[in-house]
Structures are given as structure tokens and as C-alpha cells.
Structure 1
Amino acid sequence: MSFKSICVYGAGALGGAIAAKLAAAGNGVTISAVARGAHLKSIRENGLKLYEAGAEKPIKVEITATDDPYSLPKQDLIITGLKGHQLGDAAEGIAALLKDGTRVMMILNGIPWWYFHRDSQSPHAELQFEELDPAGRLWRLIGPERVIGCVAMQGAEVVNPGEIQLSNNGRYILGEPSGEMSDDLEGIKALLTAAGLNVSMTPRIRDEIWNKLTGNAAFNPLSALTRALMTDIMADPALYDMVGKIMNEVRAVGTALGAKFSITIEERLEQSRHIGAVRTSMLQDLLAGKALEIVPLSGMVVALGRLASVPTPVSETVLALVSQLDIENRRGA
């Protein structure tokens, strides 16, 4: 279908960056955004500013922004920028924007709620996890058949309300849960590419989910527990060793569920040395007093490890620690 109306639902760091790029490109597409708080207020009053990596001047766009999705018309395409633990509460709002044929491109870290929909890599097709989708609201109100999976290799941060900074020239990998190379997939890729994003497609989106989770499950919780930047974690011998152990556990669980990995753990560690002095998204949320994205990352490594009879002792320890940190941090906030 032709995607002429697009809502970015959750226009924070990454979602806001995509909204800004799409709006700046024009291409006859109407862009709206769902945001909240001071960020929403600034977008409404001053527009949305995006500083790309290395740029001195921002892209600035004016877009329709609201905290009330029911005030928007039905959409051809919804792009979610929410984290996994935020999606359940947004299910009704997202569903209000759906019409026949609407696709929902979900940018998620870790294991997504739709992971086992039409999964042919493991014997667990259509398995649902309550911890990823409480009361099955996402499965029931949105439907996994609408989903386009998206793995984003893009560092982004809201540096001020209405202002987003990208830390790298990222890339986005899209895939249907079924593995089909559909017309919708082609259309969304063309749309995002025309907006200046580096986009590719794959028939094996779950492989890409596990490849990214290899890093996220290690660096995100460790950065929150230590408040360390990526460079600091990689420079500390004990933390470096722990990163490697978590990565090996993630790979073992993913492999047991049929995932294929494109590089070795040693190569992944070497890549991580060059990411720079970056604050992970979990560290950003910790410092802002927000709930942490624990379940789709560490939580599901442990849960799926049990499902596949793969031991994950280091991940279990990290999960216990970061879960309590989350409770105490929000209590303090």
C-alpha cells in the first residue's frame, strides 16, 4: 500500500529522530507524533530539532504532536519508538489509529512481544509471554500480523526537550515476522530510504534481534549498575570479562532457538571498543528516574534460557541486581 499518513508513537530519542527525518523529506507524507511532557510542549512551541552525528546545525521541522492519540485520524503506518515495557500501556492508543491494512513498525530492543508469531526457527510458534504483553493486550488489540520488525543500530538521546542528538550514522534492519519479503516491507524501506535513513531488509529478522541483544543484554544493565559509559566498561578488565560472559550466554540461548549469528563474540567485543563514550539507553533512563527496560533484555535471556534448557547464571545475577536497582531508583525519583 501507499503510506501517506504516518504516526510516530513515542517520539522520544529514536522515534523523534525518525519523525524529524520523515518530516524534513516531505515526499507528500503527513507526519504526526505522540509524545508527552516537556518534550511535547517544546515540539509544539518550537518545533522538533535533530542534530545528526557531527552536524553543527540541526534539522528543524514543524509536526503535529499530541499526547492524545484519539485526536489523530487513522494512519497508514505507525512507527513505535516506545520501549518494550512501555508498549502494553499504549496498546489502546495505538489501536485507535488502526484501519484496514495499517502496518505497525516496531523499533524494539531485546525480545519483542510478537517474537514467536509465525516463527519457523524454533518449535514455539505463536507462544506468548505475559511479561512482554500483560493480559495479551498487544496481541489482541494490535495483532502480530500487522507488525514489521525493526532492529535499530542508532545511538540517540534527547539532550533537551524538543532536541535530539544522534551519536552515529546508524542503520535500520526491517523484517516481517513470517520472513516474507512483502510489498509493505519494500514500501516502508523505500519511504525511510527517501528520508535519508540507512535501511536494509532481511527474511530472518530474529537473527538481527539476537545480534543486537548480544550487546544490549550486557552493556545496558552493566551501565545502569555502574553508571559507566561504554568506554569505561570496556576499559575495566572485570567488567570486560563480565560482558563477554553475558554475550556468550545470549548466544547460547539464541542458537538453541534457531538464531544464526553473523560474527564471533571476540569480533563483537572488538567492535564495542569503538562505540565511544556513549551512555546506554538504560543509563539515560536511570539518570532520569524512569522505569528501566529490563524484561525484554536480561529478563527474556533468562526466561528463554529456561525454555531452551540453557543455563544463564551471569544473566540471572545481573537481572536480580538491576531489577532491585530499578525499584530503588524509581522510589527515590
Structure 2
Amino acid sequence: MEHAAQDTDISAQFRSICIFGAGAIGGALAARLAASPALAGSTVSAIARGAHLQAIRKNGLHLHEPDKTGPLIARFAATDTAADLPPQDLVIVTLKGHQLTSASADIARLLKPDGRVVMIQNGIPWWYFHGDTASGLEGRQIEALDPGGLIWQRIGPERVIGGVIYQGAQMIEPGHIRLTSGGLLHLGEPSGGLSPALTKIAGLFEASGWAIKTTGRIRDELWLKLLGNAALNPISALTRARIGEIVDGPLEPLVRTIMIETKTVAERLGCHVESTIDQRLEHTRTLGSAKTSMLQDLEQGRLMEIMPLTRAITQLARMADVPTPANDMLLLLISQLDQSMAQARADKA
């Protein structure tokens, strides 16, 4: 009876939930939320696009999970037009950093006046210095991540709950997502408080099958994951190598140097990165032959996520007066590759 009462409370708190960006991670979140008995009284919807959207509409979203005999098949409202949906109690955004500016007006329109937005993103987020009392830079905005401050103005950093997810996920075909390793989601208020809203949203994710950790230091978790992403993503795109090939080959010293520089920036800004560099490298080795998200984007002709994973580190390093020569060189190289790929796409058009 106690569990049933808890489920009813969760459903009452979140009558309407939208996942904005139902790709691999977003689709997995949407599927589990839509299938959760705890949310039987709520409406779950998603913003998707292209063939993936059509497949979800026709046959539902098939989520293939480890050690399960068959997929979880979830059905929920899906659209590529945010205006099709009413205002939401909760919007969960899983877009990449460079996609946020163009989507920010739609995200803002989807939120009820008292609605909250969970931003699950790799790298340094646009809201990073909101409520940050440790760095001495509280309230600063990062132009490269939020040109013209449009996201800050439209959504408002006070609405944000930050998210850092460890979950291997791949879209194997439209409407089908496979989960691999991981499954842990860290959630935290940018201001550091363990608010009632944070507790309720954590309960929502837990009720739909996710392992959750709430934290008063979400920036620590951002930097911990960024140690790997800062090095592996651009190096993999430049070399077309998989993770294991990078950390177990001649590029390992470069990976180590980039991690050291990144950790130094984090600590100068008042964050505590729990893992040592050796521990982080050892964790990275467990990922084996996996491809980074940046390499996958490159192979599929999509824009690469350079701003939050690479350029933002160099910008925050300047603010913190930390030299980052390896990160600076990596930024030059990956930016040139990005320009070359953009030119190639333009020549084909």
C-alpha cells in the first residue's frame, strides 16, 4: 500500500512530461517513463524527427535492454513540432549543446510557469555559473555555449536541474534503441541545494527504472565525466579510432595530458574531481571497442559537439588562468576538421 501511495504521488506531481530529443538516450528515458506503472496517470510525450519519429508513431519505441528476453515496447505521443503539445510540468532535454539555441524557444514554450527542465548533456552546460559560489564567477554567461544569451533568457537557469548520465545507448534502427553498459543518472540543482523539486524528480526517474544519485555538487560530476569526453571524443574523430585503440595505444600519453589539464581547470574553479587520472583511464579501458559520440556524428555527417566538450574547457581555462596547450591544440585540429566536413557537405548540396 505504501508503494501504491508513492506511485500516486509521483503521478500527481508530474501530469505531463516531455522528452525533448528522443534519440538514443532520450528515447530510452521516454520508453521507461511511458511504461512506468508509477506514471499511469500522467501523459508522456517526446520530440523526435525523421524516420525515427515515424517508427515511434507506427509501432512504438522498442527498447532493447541487457539480460531481457524481449524489448520493452512503449507507446507515447511523439511529434517534431513542440507547438503540437500543451505546456508541461517537466521537460527533459537530451539535445547536444550546439542544438540548444535553436530549440530554446520551443523548450521555453513547453514549460508551465512553475515547470522545471532537466538538462542531460555532456560537457560544460550553458547554465554552468548560475548559482556557483565556488568559482568566484557566479552568474557569468559563456558566449560560446549560449550565443547572445538566448537560452539563458528564454528558459532561465533557475528552472534547470542538471543531469549527468552514464548509459551506453545506440539507435540500431528507427524506433529501436539498444542499451549497453551503465544506467546511472546524477541529478543536481545548479545552486547546490537538495530541493523538494530535485527529490521529486529523482523519485520519478527511480520509479521508471533508473539508478539515481542526487548531489549538491553537480559540477563535480560534470567535470568527472568530461575528463574522458574532453580527450576521447576529439581524438577519436581526428583518428577514426575506437576508445580501446586510443587508450591502449601510442595516444595514451596525450589522453593523460588532456585529462590533467582538464582536471586542473576544474579544481581552479572550485570543483573536486574524485577520481585520479589513472582511475579514470582504467574506467575508460572498460569501454573497449565503443565509438565516441563525436566519431558517430562524424561518420553520419552530423555536426560535432565541439563547443561544450572542447572549446568551453579552453574558455574556462582562460577565466581560471590555467594554461591548456594540449586542449588548445586539440581545439584547433577538431575545428579545422569540422570546417572541412561542413565544406564537403556544402559542396554536395
Partner of residue 22, structure 2: 11
When the two chains are superposed, the root-mean-square deviation of aligned CA atoms in Å is: 1.2
1:2 aligns with 2:13: yes
Q: Counterpart of 1:122 in 2: which secondary structure? A: coil
Partner of residue 246, structure 1: 258
CA distance in 2, matches of 1:167, 1:230: 15
Mapped contact 1:53–1:169 kept (Cα < 8 A): no
Partner of residue 168, structure 2: 155
Task: Report deviation, 1:276.
Answer: 2.2
Identify which range, 292-301 or 157-166, moves more after superposition: 157-166
1:127 aligns with 2:127: no
Partner of residue 219, structure 2: 206
Give the unaligned 5+ runs of structure 1. none
Task: Report deviation, 1:169.
Answer: 3.1
Which one-letter code corresponds to 1:6 in the other structure? I
Partner of residue 330, structure 1: 342
**Larger Rg over CA atoms:** 2
C-alpha distance after superposition, 1:293-333 (max 9, x if no partner): 00101101111111111011111111111111122223334
After TM superposition, the score normalised by the length of structure 1 is 0.97
Alignment of 1:147-296 (within 5 A): 147-236=160-249, 238-296=250-308
Task: Report deviation, 1:57.
Answer: 2.0
CA distance in 1, matches of 2:281, 2:288: 13
How many residue pairs align between the two structures? Answer: 332
Task: Report deviation, 1:42.
Answer: 1.2
Give the unaligned 5+ runs of structure 2. 1-11
Q: Counterpart of 1:100 in 2: which secondary structure? A: strand
Partner of residue 142, structure 1: 155
CA distance in 1, matches of 2:163, 2:107: 17
Task: Report deviation, 1:35.
Answer: 0.8
Alignment of 1:112-123 (within 5 A): 112-123=125-136
Task: Report deviation, 1:53.
Answer: 3.0
1:69 aligns with 2:82: yes
Percent of residue pairs identical: 51
Which one-letter code corresponds to 2:303 in the other structure? A
CA distance in 1, matches of 2:281, 2:275: 10
Alignment of 1:69-88 (within 5 A): 69-88=82-101
Q: Counterpart of 1:155 in 2: which secondary structure? A: strand
After TM superposition, the score normalised by the length of structure 2 is 0.93
